[in-house]
Structures are given as C-alpha cells and as structure tokens.
Structure 1
Amino acid sequence: MTGRRGPRIASVLTGFVLTALYAPIALVVVNSFNADERLASWGGVTFRWWVEAMNDTRILEDLWLSLIVASATTILSVSLALADALWWRRASSRARRLLDGVVFARIVLPEVVLALGLFLGAEQFGVPLGIAAIVIGQAVFCSAYATVLIQARLSTMGTELEDAAADLGAPPGRILRGVTLPVLAPSVLAAGLMVLTFSLDDVVVAQFLGGTEAETLPVLLLGKIRLTVSPEINAIGTALMLVTALPVIFLLSKGRLTVPGRRGRPPEGPADAS
C-alpha cells in the first residue's frame, strides 16, 4: 500500500505543477482569438486582435528590434561560451575553479542587480544606451548559461577522436572544425536556443540599458499591461511563443536536438583528418 501511494501522490503533484505551468499559457493562446474585448467570457473566435497587432507600427518595430537584439545576443553569447568551454577543458584545476566561480556568480546574481550595475557602469564610462548596450548586457548573463551547457557536453567527451586525428597529421584548426565542433553541435544549438529565448523574454536589462532610443517588445508589453490587459496583448504573447517554439520544433524534426526518452540522429562523424 505504501509503495503504491507514493507514485500516486507524485503523479498528482506532477499533474498539479504541469497544470499551473501550462494552463496560463493556454489561456493566453485561447484569449488571443477571443472576440470578447473585456475577456470576461468566451465571445467566439476572431482574428481581429492578430490583425490589429500586425497593423500596429510600434509593435512591429519593437518586434523587429527584439529579433535583432536576440540574434546578436545569441551569436555573442554562444561564441563567448564556446571559447570559455574550450579554454576550460585545457586549463589547470585552479583556473577551472576560477572560471566556474565567475560563471556561477553571473547565474546566481539577481538580474536586477546585474542590470543596475551595467547601467551605472555605462553612465560612469560614457557608454551610450541603446541596442549595443542591451546586447552586451544580455550577453553578460546569457553567456553563463550557455557556458554551463557546453561544459556539460565537454566533460563527457573523451579525447580519443581528437588524438586519432592528431596522429593522422591533422593540424589543431582542422581537428577543431572536423572533430570537436561536430561533437559539440547539439549542445551549441541547445545553448543558442536557450539564449534566444532568454533574450526575447528579457525585460530588466532591456529596460535599464535601452534608454530612450531602443524599446524591445517585452518592455512595450510591460508598459501596456500596466493600464489594462487587452486581447491584443494575448496575440503578441502567442506570437512570441511561436517565434521561440518553431526553431525547437524544426531542429527536433531534423534530429539535431534530442529529448529524454528519444533517440535523435547522432552527430555526424569527424571529417577525414588526413
């Protein structure tokens, strides 16, 4: 009896957590098609709010700016994380501990404190606020998460393939391109998708470092919901979810990413090192 009761309680708790997590998201999607302007009840299906959102110049400009910032942040963060992880692999134990401390400090530090520090630093050194400042600010903490993901893959990666390529006469650059990077490709893709999601979701850093010249879509949404929650906001939120979900679905369909319990396509083997 006790053994059966444990899994049953765990199933109930899991169902409760999943419901609390996904029910609000489902409401956002459903209400984006709700004809009732007050969202008090279901008023039928309509695409009015999507049309209004797509015809709003300010929303489209902020969405385009958010995509530019997210793309630049992803490239910068993943590049920094890959360089850190490759250096960490060859570093001494003391240097590894130092890098780990710097990485985890950026993760545990509250984002508002980090954003405030970046803002004060920009003011102190005369760095102009805007798109570049947002990209740098987001890359500061996003690169830490990306580093952890790539380090996790590197920690389970042996050196047999690289040693074999070196024995065949391949130079270090060829080994990196033909052996190391293909093996790390799934973790790099996962890190890039995570950074892309974090950037599109970021409000604090974008609000502190955007100034008056750059307004991302999350900052615009924050300003709108202070007055009222309109169905148009639900349409914008659903569109953002699609922007972040479609790349994941595409990569899963191509076998570039795997989920627990599924076998994805294994990474491509190393190129001929001779």
Structure 2
Amino acid sequence: MEGKEEDVKLGANKFSERQPIGTSAQTDKDYKEPPPAPWFEPGELKSWSFYRAGIAEFVATFLFLYITILTVMGVSKESALTGRKCGTVGIQGIAWAFGGMIFALVYCTAGISGGHINPAVTFGLLLARKLSLTRAVFYMIMQCLGAICGAGVVKGFEGTPTYQMNKGGANFVAHGYTKGDGLGAEIIGTFVLVYTVFSATDAKRNARDSHVPILAPLPIGFAVFLVHLATIPITGTGINPARSLGAAIIFNRDLAWNDHWIFWVGPFIGAALAAVYHQIVIRAIPFKARA
C-alpha cells in the first residue's frame, strides 16, 4: 500500500504544473523552428500529393463560392421583392455563411493542402516561407478556377436575369464610401484573417500552450464571420481575391470591374502586413536567426 502511495506521489509531481491561461510560458518544450520552404522545389511537380492538394483547393473554393454566393443571392432577391434584407437570413446570415463555410472547409482540407481557400492567405504564408513559390502559384490558380466554377453554378441555378438583377454577389464599393474607404476595409479585414491564420496554426504556440486546446478552423472561420459583419456594408467584404474574381467574371458588368483592383491590392497588402507582424514582431524570427 505504501508503495502505491509513493507511485501516486511520483505521478502527481512528475510533471510541473501547467501554465495558467493568459500568462507567459516558461518553456518552449524543445520546440525547433522548421527551416523555411524553398522558393522552388522541382520534386513537387512529380508528386501526386502536390496535385492532390491543388485539387482540394479547387473543390473547396468551388463549394465556398457556391454556398456563399447562393446565400447572397437569396438575401438580395428578398430585398428586391420586399425592401427588407431581413426577410431571409439577412446580413448576419451572409456573414455566418462565409464564416461557417471557411470553418468547415478548412477542417476538411487542412490535412491535404493546408486549407488556404484564399490567394491572400496563400500569399501571406508564402512571404513567411511556409510553402514554395511553385505551390503558392498553383494554389492561387486552382482557387480562382474553383471560384469561377462555383459562381457559374449559382448563375445557372438563379437564371441570368435574376443573377444580373441581384448583381451576382460581386464585390464593389458601396454608395457613400470612397475607393480609399474600400481599400482600407479590405486591408484591415484581410489582416485580421491572415493574422488569425498565423496564430491558429503556429506550431510553437501549440507546443508551448498545449494546455489551451484549439481547433484551428474555428478561430479562422470566426474571424471571417466578424470581418463580414463589419465590412459587408462597405465592400460586400472581399478579403479573398478568388471570391471577388469568380463573382466578377460571371457577373461581368462594369460595376464589378470598376473597383476590382481593390479586392486584389487590399487583401495582398493586408496579408503581407499580417505576415510581417507575426513573423517579425510576434515571433521575432529574423532576430533569433541572427543570434
């Protein structure tokens, strides 16, 4: 019996007390920073996993556009008939559709492609050297193709007259706001998203804060939801160049193309700022490498 009590005491004291939530960690638990991904990795082009990841990005972006643009169409149609956007799911429902789909799709594809589903996310991770330039370009192409196909299927369901009348779910700067307002909204919105992606997928954080269970797709999807709540009235919320491109190509009216540059420049600037902030300020990686 005494031996068992000793075992219990040993088991209780063998591991140090876990770090309380919200306080700095005492140890990195032997975490080692992974080396940066090469800019070009020829072996990728011969690997089935490379093309499988691209296909996963295509399908995920296709499904993302299908669900979200169809939701936008439903709200726009109800608004045109009754004058009330809350006749269906309303703006909050649109935000939930975007955030919920990102949550589901990141969860499904994270183990295959990383679950980017957004050229801005891919660009931010490229700047942080988390993937090669070859893979980044391939992902962006597949994301854009998936978005175009997804928006095209929605147009097929809605019919051309209804689709055009409801502006095809395209992004544009709303009346009463300037192009600068739209650009700023896209930069800040994308910063929130990409910074959340970096934080939620940070391997060092997972090693350090293992006592804080985290499901990476959840905060990412929630970030998308919150950004949509804030910026739908300004730009319809892009923060995803593939989403904006797919809707613009299928809608194909001046309204979508006049401001389209905003939905590439803004997200890419926001993603770059998030990458710099996380890698240099939060993680201080360049200073560690120099040391």
TM-score normalised according to structure 2 size: 0.26
Q: Which has the higher contact order (CA 8 A, sep 6+)?
A: 1
